[in-house]
């Protein structure tokens, strides 16, 4: 038996297995952020390939919050139709569908117009200087996340993920490195948490009981001026208390510096958070080997395993993992001739 490829139920939602497609920006939408045939083919291929949960790429809650002019969007009701078509296709081929709601803040590159952030500090020399958000504008962005969540529910997503990692807007408010405000949204940990907590609370108000809310976090920032891992553990406990159902644990992104990486380099952070909190976690970070993924889940180091580049290279990673792990019954009949008799 494989624990990795067995089902997992979280608050009534049953995932067919514990393999997650990590959200990765594809930059294939047009100016209006609409789903294209490319997106339908891309995500359907991973559903056919057996991925348990597909988390759609960062989808902008505001047009000015896009990471590129070709990001998918969910800031307008006209975008719901295409998103629903995508969700229906993912469901048809057996996967659960998640969406990552994002706002680039000071890392946004929408193509034209101003960008915003908690403080007027550019991410790097190559990025535009953001305008510091007024308190009224903060409330407007909180509402933009809420409205985006409403649209995601209308489109039929099973899980909504808030992108609070990798130096984007929610993370920017969390980090003393990028948030140097002197008002109620800056300074103490309680103040740094205010913006993400307001978003969570507003989204929870409209979220049906059969939908799960997930938060992606950067456990550490790899910069001296940032928060510590212990700070994030404290924050994660608060996030769980106010209704986050799953924590998607990544690292970094607050500044231009990048960490040294190796297979599973972020797993220890997910494992520690899982030990500290009574909430399911997703581990990620150059996990490519089925044996490694199986070990992580089987030894209760994580609840789910997220793959990124591995699923870009191989949409059938899960089917090939079943073959490598010797697990029968996972191969679609249409693909059976490509696999040995004993794992069909």
What CATH code is carried by the domain that includes residue 72?
3.20.20.70
- Coil, helix or strand for 171? helix
Question: Count of domains in the chain?
Answer: 1
Residue pointed to by tokens 């985006």: 148
Residue 117 and residue 107: Cα distance in Å, rounded? Answer: 9
What does pLDDT average to over the chain?
Answer: 96
Alpha-carbon torsion, ordered 47, 53, 58, 59, to 10 deg: 70
Q: Supply the pLDDT for residue 208.
A: 97
Residue 60 lies in a domain: yes
Tens of pLDDT, residue by residue over 263-291, are: 999 999 999 999 999 899 999 999 999 99
Q: What is the mean pLDDT of residues 26-33?
A: 95
- Coil, helix or strand for 283? strand
Which token pair is 172?
């920017």
Quick one: DSSP state of residue 235? H
Residue 295 lies in a domain: yes
Check whether 109 has a pLDDT greater than 90. Answer: yes
Residue 2 lies in a domain: no
Residue 1 lies in a domain: no
Domain range for residue 330? 8-343
Residue 194 lies in a domain: yes
Cα–Cα–Cα angle for 312, 315, 319, rounded to 5 degrees: 140
Which token pair is 15?
């995932």
Task: Give the pairing type, strands 96-102 and 159-164.
Answer: parallel
Q: What is the mean pLDDT of residues 121-130?
A: 94
Q: What number of helices (H) and strands (E) belong to the chain?
A: 11, 12
Which token pair is 268?
């220890």
Within 176-268, strands assigned E span: 212-218, 246-250
Which token pair is 104?
């680039």
User: 62: buried, middle or exposed (CB in 10 Å: 19+, 13-18, 0-12)?
Assistant: buried
Query: Out of 112-116, 166-170, 322-326, 339-343, which region has the weakest mean confidence (pLDDT)?
Result: 339-343
Q: Supply the pLDDT for residue 339.
A: 81
Residues constituting the chain: 344
User: What's the pLDDT band for 190 if we cut at 50, 70, 90?
Assistant: very high
Residue 184 lies in a domain: yes
Which token pair is 32?
């209006």
Residue 218 lies in a domain: yes
Residue 225 and residue 54: Cα distance in Å, rounded? Answer: 34
Phi, psi of 172 (to 5 degrees): -60, -40
Tens of pLDDT, residue by residue over 159-172, are: 999 999 999 999 99
Question: Radius of gyration over alpha carbons of the chain, in Å?
Answer: 19
User: What's the pLDDT band for 314 if we cut at 50, 70, 90?
Assistant: very high
């Amino acid at each position: 038996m494989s624990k990795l490829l067995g089902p997992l139920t979280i608050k009534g939602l049953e995932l067919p297995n514990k393999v997650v497609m990590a959200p990765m920006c594809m930059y294939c939408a047009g100016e209006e952020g609409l789903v294209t045939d490319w997106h339908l083919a891309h995500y359907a291929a991973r559903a056919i390939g057996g991925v348990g949960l597909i988390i759609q790429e960062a989808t902008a809650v505001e047009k000015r919050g896009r990471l590129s002019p070709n990001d998918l969007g969910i800031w307008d009701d006209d975008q719901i139709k295409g998103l629903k078509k995508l969700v229906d296709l993912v469901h048809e081929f057996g996967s659960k569908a998640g969406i990552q709601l994002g706002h680039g803040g000071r890392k946004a590159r929408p193509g034209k117009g101003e960008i915003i952030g908690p403080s007027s500090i550019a991410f790097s020399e190559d990025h535009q200087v953001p305008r510091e958000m007024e308190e009224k504008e903060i409330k407007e962005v909180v509402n933009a996340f809420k409205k985006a969540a409403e649209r995601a529910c209308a489109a039929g997503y099973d899980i909504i993920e808030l992108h609070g990692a990798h130096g984007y807007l929610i993370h920017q408010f969390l980090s003393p490195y990028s948030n140097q405000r002197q008002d109620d949204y800056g300074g103490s940990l309680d103040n740094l948490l205010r913006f993400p907590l307001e978003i969570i609370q507003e989204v929870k108000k409209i979220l049906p009981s059969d939908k799960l809310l997930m938060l992606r976090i950067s456990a550490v920032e790899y910069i001296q001026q940032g928060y510590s891992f212990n700070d994030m553990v404290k924050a994660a406990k608060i996030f769980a208390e106010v209704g986050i159902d799953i924590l998607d644990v990544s690292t970094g992104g607050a500044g231009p510096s990048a960490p040294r990486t190796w297979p599973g380099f972020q797993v220890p952070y997910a494992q520690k958070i899982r030990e500290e909190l009574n909430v399911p976690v997703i581990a990620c970070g150059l996990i490519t080997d089925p044996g490694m993924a199986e070990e992580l889940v089987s030894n209760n180091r994580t609840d789910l395993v997220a793959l990124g580049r591995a699923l870009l290279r191989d949409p059938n990673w899960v089917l090939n993992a079943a073959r490598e792990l010797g697990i029968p019954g996972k191969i679609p009949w249409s693909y059976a001739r490509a696999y040995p008799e004993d794992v069909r």
